[in-house]
């Protein structure tokens, strides 16, 4: 892995869950880090500890504005593009805004990166791209039809990145995240991800509701595995690793029923009363993929990816963080 020391790196969506964790890791490695965020979904509290660091720069702006993207990319060596409107339900309720941010915003950023001579563009892709493909485990070359507007936008990002690589001699790497969780993930709001949402409910002694019978399964991925993948993608000198898309996951699947039980167990070590909270079931959610399990062989072979946190270890770390910070 090439050192990231003294590199100038832009993290879009840097005030968000994944972005702020990436910034923390990059600053620890001695990088000069810019954070571009509109605070539409990110939070200032996530970056408060960085504001006094002379190696950190906050750029408040929206990726839907090409001029903002141009200014943010100026002088950068690497871009880690995390900015997006996440959530399948959000995209179903408001496909237009999801399209504007995730497609037009992505295009603005990759153009700005190209025009400013950015050496490497690493972007957050999504496991939602696999759509209705029933193949397990998910391998990067086999996808189905998208099941939501959000999934469409993330697939279009991959297509644009591939075209830019072929047309402009541009280095891009996409990371298909699988159900990322961990510290700083927001438990509040209508579109909160399942783990932080359930954490908040358990901590308030409220019953979490599983969509459907609970047998849907996911490849839950702790944030430190995602940080590792981004740092590897940003620094790899392997020419075969460039202009590729990789699954970023642990490579194991867990049902929602198992997740709820394990989460309750992990939280109960901090508050024994949580062990008595009942787990409920509700209707299935539109656009949900029944099962998700990643093959991570490609990332292992080309990037040297070695995820260190399985679900239960990650849950332990995440629960400790929530009890200390919520």
Known catalytic residue: 284?
no
Range of the domain at 45: 8-182+221-251+295-308
Count of other CB atoms within 10 angstroms of residue 149: 21
Q: State the CATH number of the domain containing residue 178.
A: 3.40.50.720
Residue 51 lies in a domain: yes
Residue 121 lies in a domain: yes
Residue 186 near residue 46 (C-beta atoms within 8 A): no
Residue 61 lies in a domain: yes
For residues 106-136, b (16+ Cβ closer than 10 Å) or e, as one string?
bbbbbbbbbebebebbbbbbbbbbbbeeeee
Query: Residue 241 contacts by C-beta under 8 Å, 6 or more apart in sequence?
Result: 173, 233, 302, 303
Q: Catalytic one among 150, 216, 222, 246?
A: 150
Residue 166: predicted pLDDT: 96
Higher pLDDT, 320 or 87: 320
Residue 189 lies in a domain: no
Phi-psi region of 285 (alpha: psi -120 to 50; beta: other; left: phi over 0): beta
Residue 87 lies in a domain: yes
Residue 212 lies in a domain: no
Residue 322 lies in a domain: no
142, pLDDT greater than 60: yes
Residue 233 lies in a domain: yes
Number of domains in the chain: 1
pLDDT tens for 12-58 read: 999 999 999 999 999 999 999 999 999 999 999 999 999 999 999 99
């Amino acid at each position: 892995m090439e050192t990231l020391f003294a590199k100038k790196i832009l993290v879009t969506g840097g005030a968000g869950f994944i972005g702020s964790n990436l910034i923390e890791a990059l600053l620890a490695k001695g990088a000069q880090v810019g954070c571009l965020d509109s605070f539409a979904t990110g939070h200032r509290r996530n970056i408060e500890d960085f504001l006094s660091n002379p190696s950190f720069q906050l750029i408040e702006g929206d990726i839907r504005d090409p001029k903002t993207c141009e200014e943010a990319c100026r002088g950068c060596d690497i871009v880690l593009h995390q900015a997006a409107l996440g959530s399948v339900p959000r995209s179903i309720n408001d496909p237009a805004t999801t399209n504007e941010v995730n497609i037009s915003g992505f295009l603005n950023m990759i153009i700005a990166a190209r025009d400013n001579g950015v050496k490497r563009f690493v972007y957050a892709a999504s496991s939602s791209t696999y759509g209705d493909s029933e193949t397990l485990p998910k391998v990067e070359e086999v996808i189905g039809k998208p099941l939501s507007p959000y999934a469409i936008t993330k697939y279009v990002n991959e297509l644009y990145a591939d075209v830019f690589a072929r047309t402009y001699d541009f280095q891009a790497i996409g990371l298909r995240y699988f159900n990322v969780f961990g510290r700083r993930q927001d438990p509040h709001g209508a579109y909160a991800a399942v783990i932080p949402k359930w954490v908040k409910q358990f901590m308030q002694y409220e019953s979490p509701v599983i969509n459907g019978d609970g047998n849907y399964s996911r490849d839950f991925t702790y944030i430190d595995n995602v940080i590792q993948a981004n740092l590897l993608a940003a620094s790899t000198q392997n020419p075969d690793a460039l202009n590729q898309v990789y699954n970023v996951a642990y490579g194991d699947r867990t049902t929602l029923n198992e997740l709820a039980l394990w989460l309750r167990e992990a939280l109960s070590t901090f508050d024994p009363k949580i062990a008595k909270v009942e787990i409920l079931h509700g209707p299935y959610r539109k656009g949900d993929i029944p099962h998700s399990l990643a093959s991570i062989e490609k990332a292992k072979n080309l990037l040297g990816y070695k995820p260190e946190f399985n679900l239960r270890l990650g849950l332990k770390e995440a629960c400790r963080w929530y009890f200390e910070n919520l």
